[in-house]
A and B are shown apart, each in its own frame.
Chain A
Amino acid sequence: NAGVTQTPKFRILKIGQSMTLQCTQDMNHNYMYWYRQDPGMGLKLIYYSVGAGITDKGEVPNGYNVSRSTTEDFPLRLELAAPSQTSVYFCASSGQGSTGNTIYFGEGSWLTVV
Chain B
Amino acid sequence: AQSVTQLGSHVSVSEGALVLLRCNYSSSVPPYLFWYVQYPNQGLQLLLKYTSAATLVKGINGFEAEFKKSETSFHLTKPSAHMSDAAEYFCAVSSTGNQFYFGTGTSLTVIP
B32 engages A100 (CB within 8 Å):
yes
Interface-side segment among B45-53, B57-65, B68-76: B45-53
The stretch among B19-27, B78-86, B94-102 that forms the contact with chain A is B94-102
Cβ of B44 within 8 Å of any chain A Cβ, yes or no, is yes
Tell me if A100 and B49 are in contact (CB < 8 A).
yes
Q: Is A31's CB within 8 Å of the partner chain B?
A: yes
**A100-B32, A105-B43 known; A94 and B100 CB under 8 Å?**
yes
Residues of A contacting B: mostly: strand
Complex Cα distance A108/B12, Å? 26
Closest to B10 in A: A40
Is residue A84 contacting chain B, with contact meaning CB distance below 8 A? no
List A residues 68-114 near B (Cβ within 8 Å). 90, 94-96, 100-108, 110
Q: Assess whether B110 is interfacial by the CB under 8 Å rule.
A: no
Measured between C-beta atoms, what is the minimum distance from A1 to chain B in Å? 13
Give the docked Cα–Cα distance between A43 and B43 (Å): 12
Asked if A41 lies at the interface with its beta carbon under 8 angstroms from chain B, I say: yes
Main secondary structure of the interface of B (DSSP, over half): strand
Closest to A50 in B: B98
Number of interface residues of A (CB under 8 A): 23
A53 within 8 A of B: no
**What residues of A have a CB within 8 angstroms of the CB of B94 in the complex?**
101, 103
Judging by beta carbons under 8 Å apart, are B43 and A90 in contact? yes
B67 within 8 A of A: no
* Per-residue contact bits, chain B 1-44, to A (CB 8 Å; 1 contact, 0 not): 00000000100000000000000000000001010100001111
CA of A30 to CA of B105 in the docked complex: distance in angstroms?
A: 27
B104 contacts partner chain A, Cβ-Cβ < 8 Å: yes
List, sorted by A's number, 7 A–B pairs whose CB atoms are closer than 8 Å. Answer: A4-B43, A31-B98, A40-B105, A42-B102, A94-B98, A94-B100, A101-B51
